[in-house]
Amino acid sequence: MGKRSLNSEKHMHGTTAKKKRSGLQLSNMPTDILCSIMSKLPLKEAVRTSILSQQWKYHWCCHSNLEFSFTSMLSSHHLGGPITADSRNLMKQEFIERVDAVLKQHSGLGVENFRVWFPFNNGNTDPIERWVNFAVASKTKHLTLNFSSARCIGKPCIFDLRLLDGSVSSHLQYVELSSVFLQLPVGFKGLHLLMSNCNVLEFLRITDCSMLTRIHISHPSNALKHLQVHKCRSLQVMELNFGLITLEYSGPLIPLSPPGTLLLTKISMKPWDSCTALEYIFTELPSTVPRLEMLTLKCHEVERATLPEKLPKFVYLRHLRLELSSGPLEKKVDALDFACLLVAAPFLEKLEFHMWRMVSVNQSYGYGQQLRSIPSQPHCHLRFVDITGFYGQKDQLELALHILRNAAMLEAMKIDPKPSIAAEYGQMQGPFFLDGYQVARDYVLREDKCNVLYIKHVPRKTIEAKFLSGSLWSKLRTLSYGVFV
């Protein structure tokens, strides 16, 4: 009797456990939850779930993140081999067919992100139009079309801005267009049509659109908050809207032409033209962005800037990041000039200097040289300073000492001899920058009364062995000697 009761109890618990397990099956979850889970997977992996069973065949069709790229769409046999004109055409055809197949089966509902990243050119406008029509019809919020390529493969793909008609593209909040030829209707200039159609657009990124000469987004009702513009070679002017908060730009040096005072609080600028950072700061910015809070400026310094007698004040500026490069012939560049920033930005809290100087011989500060000093300029808000590319040269040492002596509330100051921005300029650096470590220890450290200084140590033997053992260092020395001969 006891055994039968025990067996019955086991059977009952086993049945209950099976029911509980069956109730936890993923396929039995509500459709919206299942779609949310499926959208967390990469598109390729989500599509693969269709082979699990007949029940799973179409679960992926509600995927909300449609990202089509070389790696997500093409077969592995395309990777690693030589690329010829024929193989490139085959890859394009396979890519187009696979994207079309995905969109044909997709429900067309709930698409949050629609992204195409593939090197298309002017011969592929038809599939692009189909895909954009699908994206706007599905009320996607994020649209990315990136047709950039490592090398020129023909004329850029034409993109007709009328595809983003106001009646269907009103949901777009994020648009990124790269390596496209923007086709504008007669009578429209710049991006005015795009901005008028996409009235909730908050983020816009334009890259490598060579035909673009003007960006006009100055209507007060525009919702645009963040604008990024890169490598638009023909751009001549940007007319910006009142509500724009952040601007990121790299390209030819052009004026910012607002209809009035901008609300811009964050700017990152990388002008292609040779331009001194101080000259740009004091001549281009004060009248247009007086409420600037964060500035990143990347400049190639070729000469000392001529500063105005009365420096403009940036009373809202809290974070300043300068990336400064200079070649061996720019001998007039003087880092101590940048000490004036402590006066111009009285409420600055974080200051970054990232320097790269192409040198071929040891030019670090030597004992017995006369160090300059300028009148004391106490600063009561600067808390963090970061200096990289500290070669230990005399003007760099003078700037570091001036900041350390005048920043009364300084909490941390980091000095790194290694030029962190050298790689961005496609340059490698010999071991000369290593002398900056010893100069910082000998002259800056003894002025550190509050124990806020950190000097990063770079092992000399490791760096010298790396360069002296290979041909790279020999080539660099030959190039450097050639410059000075």
The answer to whether residues 251 and 303 belong to one domain is no
CA nearest neighbour of 51 among 64, 60, 41? 60
Q: Which of 216-225, 369-378, 388-397, 428-437 has the lowest mean pLDDT?
A: 428-437
CA nearest neighbour of 119 among 76, 163, 153, 161? 153
Residue 476: band (very low, low, confident or very high) from pLDDT cuts 50, 70, 90: very low
Residue 465: band (very low, low, confident or very high) from pLDDT cuts 50, 70, 90: low
The answer to whether residues 251 and 323 belong to one domain is no
Share of the chain above pLDDT 70, in %: 73
Share of the chain above pLDDT 90, in %: 36
| 294 neighbors 265 (Cβ within 8 angstroms) | yes
Comparison of pLDDT for 399 and 71, the residue scoring more: 399
The answer to whether residues 249 and 387 belong to one domain is no
Averaged over 34-40, what is the pLDDT?
A: 72
Residue 70: inside a domain:
no
Residue 155: band (very low, low, confident or very high) from pLDDT cuts 50, 70, 90: confident
Distance, CA of 325 to CA of 480 (rounded, Å): 16
So what's the pLDDT on residue 227?
92
So what's the pLDDT on residue 278?
93
Residue 5: inside a domain:
no
Comparison of pLDDT for 386 and 91, the residue scoring more: 386
| 68 neighbors 115 (Cβ within 8 angstroms) | yes
Cα dist. 94→45, 46, 48, 70, 114 in Å? Answer: 18, 19, 18, 10, 19
Residues in CB range of 114: below 8 A, 6 or more apart: 66, 131, 134, 135, 138, 140, 142, 143, 144
| pLDDT tens, residue by residue, 395-432 | 999 999 999 999 999 999 999 998 888 766 555 555 66
| 39 neighbors 61 (Cβ within 8 angstroms) | no
The answer to whether residues 252 and 323 belong to one domain is no
Q: Which of 20-34, 159-173, 220-234 has the lowest mean pLDDT?
A: 20-34
* 264, 298, 314 - which closes a domain: 264
So what's the pLDDT on residue 25?
63
Tell me: pLDDT of 336 over 70: yes
For the ranges 4-8, 92-96, 132-136, 348-352, the one whose mean pLDDT is highest: 348-352
Averaged over 312-336, what is the pLDDT?
A: 87
Residue 65: inside a domain:
no
Residue 276: inside a domain:
no
Rg (CA), the chain: 29
Domain containing 470: what range? 287-475
Half-sphere exposure of 448 (CA within 13 A, CB side): 18
The answer to whether residues 101 and 233 belong to one domain is yes
| pLDDT tens, residue by residue, 97-125 | 999 999 998 888 889 999 999 988 877 78
335 burial level (CB within 10 Å; 0-12, 13-18, 19+): buried
| 120 neighbors 146 (Cβ within 8 angstroms) | no
So what's the pLDDT on residue 301?
87
Q: Which of 41-45, 135-139, 437-441 has the lowest mean pLDDT?
A: 41-45
| 237 neighbors 259 (Cβ within 8 angstroms) | no
So what's the pLDDT on residue 307?
85
The answer to whether residues 324 and 471 belong to one domain is yes
Computed over every residue of the chain, the mean pLDDT equals 80
Residue 208: inside a domain:
yes
Amino acid 245 reads I
The DSSP element (H or E) to which 88 belongs, if any, is: helix 85-105
Count the domains in the chain: 2
Residue 67: inside a domain:
no
The answer to whether residues 450 and 407 belong to one domain is yes
The answer to whether residues 231 and 366 belong to one domain is no
The answer to whether residues 138 and 207 belong to one domain is yes
Tell me: pLDDT of 38 over 90: no
Distance, CA of 231 to CA of 272 (rounded, Å): 9
**pTM (2 decimals)?**
0.81
CA nearest neighbour of 103 among 138, 145, 148, 51? 138
3-state secondary structure of 233: coil
Residue 256: band (very low, low, confident or very high) from pLDDT cuts 50, 70, 90: confident
Comparison of pLDDT for 72 and 116, the residue scoring more: 116
Residue 36: inside a domain:
no
List the alpha helices (DSSP H) in 24-62.
31-39, 43-48
* 264, 297, 321 - which closes a domain: 264
Tell me: pLDDT of 458 over 80: no
Q: Which of 82-91, 244-253, 291-300 has the lowest mean pLDDT?
A: 82-91
The answer to whether residues 214 and 351 belong to one domain is no
Tell me: pLDDT of 346 over 90: yes
Tell me: pLDDT of 350 over 90: yes
Residue 37: inside a domain:
no
Residue 289: band (very low, low, confident or very high) from pLDDT cuts 50, 70, 90: confident
Averaged over 283-312, what is the pLDDT?
A: 87
User: Where does residue 160 fall: left (phi above 0), alpha (psi -120 to 50 degrees), or beta otherwise?
Assistant: beta
The answer to whether residues 362 and 458 belong to one domain is yes
The answer to whether residues 88 and 126 belong to one domain is yes
3-state secondary structure of 65: strand
Tell me: pLDDT of 182 over 90: no
So what's the pLDDT on residue 481?
33
- One DSSP character per residue, 238-293 reads EE--TT--EEEEEES---B--SS-----EEEEEESS---HHHHHHHHSTTT-TT--
Distance, CA of 319 to CA of 296 (rounded, Å): 8
Comparison of pLDDT for 80 and 117, the residue scoring more: 117
In b/e form, how buried is each residue of 352-373, taking b as 16+ CB within 10 angstroms? bbbbbbbbbeebbbeeeeeeee
